[in-house]
Structure 1
Amino acid sequence: MTEKDISDSRLIQLLQGEEDTARGALTMLYLRYAPRVRELAQCILHDSDEALDVAHDVFMAVWQHRSVLEGVVSPSAYLFRMTRNAVLNRLKHRRIVDDYASQPFDTISPYDPAATFSTREMAAMIRAAIAGMPPLRRKIFLMSRSRGMTYQQIAEAVGVSHKTVQYHIGIALKELRKVLSALMLFI
């Protein structure tokens, strides 16, 4: 039997078994999902080293909490939530360290293993991606999308050229598309 022959639900069962079996199951789960976890973290954090740290932290947490995985129906959704929480924690930490105000994250609900991927979670990840943008890009993007300002109005308000506004909004949209495509890996 190969790695691909073992279902996700069976991997969860094996993770709760004897330590040698559980280690093999964790390895299979890691090989199957680590690239998705890293990609999602990278899309939001814009830091490959930090994304790799998030992936390792997520799978370390799976190992440490393997005895309580019994209620996990979808490892994909479970890992998405863990990744989301780890990324949000890192962004909160960045915000504190950098001492700048960003959108609060306390409105995000805690982990619920029975819940499925929702529009609210997607919105939270988009907010996190926007919060992770460089300050000028975030400001320009929010002026455009939240306030409905034209490129020219933004250029005058910020003191940059029309082309600079266009550039930053283009890059912001490209980053958000990456986040959304990474999120689709978990659906």
Structure 2
Amino acid sequence: MIILFNKPFNVVCQFSAHDPGNGKTGHPTLKDFIQIPDVYAAGRLDTDSEGLLILTDDGMLQHRLSDPKRKEFKTYWVQVEGTPSTEDLEPLIRGIDLSDFVAKPAQVRLIPEPESLWLRNPPIRERKAIPTSWLEIKISEGKNRQVRRMTAKIGFPTLRLIRYAIGQYTIDGIQNGQHKVIE
């Protein structure tokens, strides 16, 4: 079974309760959205990121989907502070040194704000004097906070990060906070 979940902002990618250590209930978890037993996330998505998370009950499939050696392209919609030029994006396209590793070359382009975009709760911080732009970034890696680090390195911090696709799977037709069983 494969489940495509459009993960909202502030949701932890695990089913068990998240205790931040202060005795209070932490962020919502996958169990607050998906009541299908014995499925597990194939990969992760940071709490402050949104979009596609694939879950499955098939351990081999889970490994294949999350294995970095498989080089499955992930497509992100990224709202950044500022308006990068083609020259600004060039280091991402060539591959950028992030100190602890060099990110492989990415496919990057400016896009209009996605039409199917939902409101985020809470909204991003915006500054009146600084415009924002949307990028589509495709990478075959998925290291910790990689896309955020890449945009920050070129001087355009990420304000909102949405994973749109993993390989052939997308969030098309799946409302934020909803899921679809496809197999």
What TM-score does the superposition give when structure 2 sets the normalisation length? 0.22
**Structure index of larger Rg:** 1
Higher strand share: 2
Higher helix share: 1
Q: Which has the higher contact order (CA 8 A, sep 6+)?
A: 2
